[in-house]
Chains A and B, each alone.
Chain A
């Protein structure tokens, strides 16, 4: 079995009892890298080093971090750092653990990003539901101020940095960086038209760097040990390590940090293999947005997964075994996107809504033989036509479920029931409809699904 390569998860795995305290973090060498950056390196040096390292954003898009920084205009002040800690991609829980268990690593990373971009104020947009994580970050920020690690003239330099903790209030779309900025400004969290990109016009219309928690947590290590050290792991185009959130039907679901390019079968082995030794059926390789895989014979990195028609995304991997109903999987996934669609653009708002209705009637044994084509048609109607990537993601997930497991969908229709179980319940709201509309999808309704809309 392969070993993990622990970079951003080293401290929290080595010191699980107190890795989150300032005492442990300082004792373990925290803030040495940010001190080095602020006192010994110029901002341009930092950006150049980041570019050399090839670090790609760990939030989902995989955009090179150094390049993102280089888009920030040098002569416009103030500018802001915004930490995207609104982790909401289904089955992703790496940022939660990183900030909860090693908040000082994140604060150190923010300091480096702030120095490199000459920003004196940073906002951490912390997901509203992260109660413990927020407590730990709050405490860490206060401890850092008390020790002069934040505030005016840090490390005896002339550089000031303030970090403000901000809580979200429950909206997946706020993980999209421009929607996050709108939310942080006190608006509904809906995505902005781009360009202009946040690097040029972001928070309050100022140049803004939005980086993910895991991305920022990697910075101290790159500053401290250099680009070559970082590049010893991973591939040429996907260097470094990545924290993978492994879940589903595995023996040991957890966050595992491995070099990018690690074979997927090794990741499954790290997680203890399939639960109860059952057969693997499907894999979500990068969050709910990523099209499914059916084989572990692939490397986990940005490019290999892209070539396979899917994506690394946020690095969450869900293994599903032979007992999994893929219609239900599609339904749960699309209910999620339907619920989280912000409503701004029509293809996403309407497309996810109709997809859920069709999936519900298939799952409840009311499906029609043309429904599979209808679902693909709905997916095609959203893909490439939505305002932001949420709609695209929903369409990819929908299409891949239907196309890869079409025979299973057809079996639901021909048998008039879910072959995996007899119960006619829905996922959210176990007996009553919550996410569908009215009685659509309830088996007792003879014309469930879309047709029921025509009834009074």
Chain B
């Protein structure tokens, strides 16, 4: 694989190959690969989509068709922190509008906007499955519960001052590029302590000859170009 367009470094190209290796069909890797692009570019760029297309062996237009459907894949540059205010039923009935207004005033942008310094993007989100803490919001997908207008403003203050911020569930808020990287690499096997990680491959002896071998990521010698070995039937 060449690095012609130059969005993904050689290192990330290797990560991309591991991601592709998770799936029986390389096309399934499109979403995580687009998150990988977002982890470098801050959003899904045209060059990034071209590289993804090259990696999975599709036309760039096909990657665009997929990419444009999903709200977490950003079409334009995003702030370092994406503040997503839930606007769904439980949160609205418990004060989500006031939270959104407070954040619009504090950040000086409207919902959907990004601050001039590129630090914050503000969006409204559909139900985040955090209704037990309504009104709630997420910052780079970490949950904050029972938010008040003052609490929302204080969160922004804290992030602006560069202080470490942890969620309702005790998780550190990462930067938007860091979280995109994490999403992209979800489900990649981490070599464990068992020691036989390299041996425990599938695709060798299988108890049933008619069972397709699974493909485990992070195996040595798995550099082969992924191919579409199972057709799409629709």
Contacts and interface: CB of A to CB of B under 8 A. Distances in A.
Contacts of B232: 185, 187, 204-205
A143 B190 CA distance: 10
Contacts of B69: 171, 188-189, 342
A165 B186 CA distance: 7
B62 to A, nearest CB: 9
Contacts of A434: 111-112, 124
B35 A167 contact: yes
Interface residues of A, number: 90
A414 interface: no
Contacts of B138: 129
B126 A93 contact: no
Point out which of B31, B65, B101 has the most chain A C-beta atoms below 10 A from its C-beta. Answer: B31
Given A132-B171, A166-B187, A91 B126 contact: no
Contact of A164 (B22, B94, B179): B22
Interface string A334-350: 01100110100000000
A236 B29 CA distance: 44
B94 A249 contact: yes
A169 interface: yes
Interface stretch (A145-153, A257-265, A368-376, A377-385): A145-153
Nearest to A425: B97
Interface string B213-224: 010100000000
Interface in B66-90: 66, 68-73, 84, 87-90
A162 B202 CA distance: 9
Given A129-B72, A132-B169, A171-B69, A184 B28 contact: yes
Contacts of A152: 200, 202
Contacts of A9: none
Contacts of A51: none
B192 to A, nearest CB: 4
A87 B126 CA distance: 12
A165 B187 contact: yes
A332 B87 contact: yes
B93 A188 contact: no
A128 B110 CA distance: 24
B8 interface: no
A303 interface: no
B134 A92 contact: no
B41 interface: no
A172 interface: yes
Nearest to B128: A129
A331 B131 CA distance: 18
Nearest to B212: A78
A253 B132 contact: yes
A332 to B, nearest CB: 5
Contact of B230 (A204, A255, A342, A432): A204
A162 B24 CA distance: 12
A431 B230 contact: no
A90 B126 contact: yes
Interface in A56-93: 77-78, 87-93
Interface in A125-162: 126-132, 134-135, 138, 141-143, 145-148, 151-152, 158-160, 162
Contacts of A249: 93-94
A352 B189 CA distance: 42
B233 interface: yes
A167 B88 contact: no
Point out which of B88, B104, B192, B230 has the most chain A C-beta atoms below 10 A from its C-beta. Answer: B88
A88 B72 CA distance: 14
Interface in B17-40: 22-25, 27-32, 34-35
Given A253-B131, A431-B101, A128 B183 contact: yes
10 contacts: A120-B211, A129-B141, A135-B171, A159-B207, A166-B187, A169-B35, A248-B89, A253-B133, A429-B124, A430-B100
Given A131-B171, A152-B200, A189-B70, 18 more contacts: A90-B131, A131-B142, A131-B182, A138-B186, A146-B193, A158-B207, A166-B28, A167-B32, A170-B72, A170-B73, A185-B25, A185-B27, A185-B28, A204-B24, A245-B132, A247-B134, A288-B127, A427-B96
The 9 tightest CB contacts between A and B, nearest first, are A165-B187, A205-B233, A146-B192, A169-B70, A170-B71, A247-B131, A428-B124, A170-B72, A186-B27
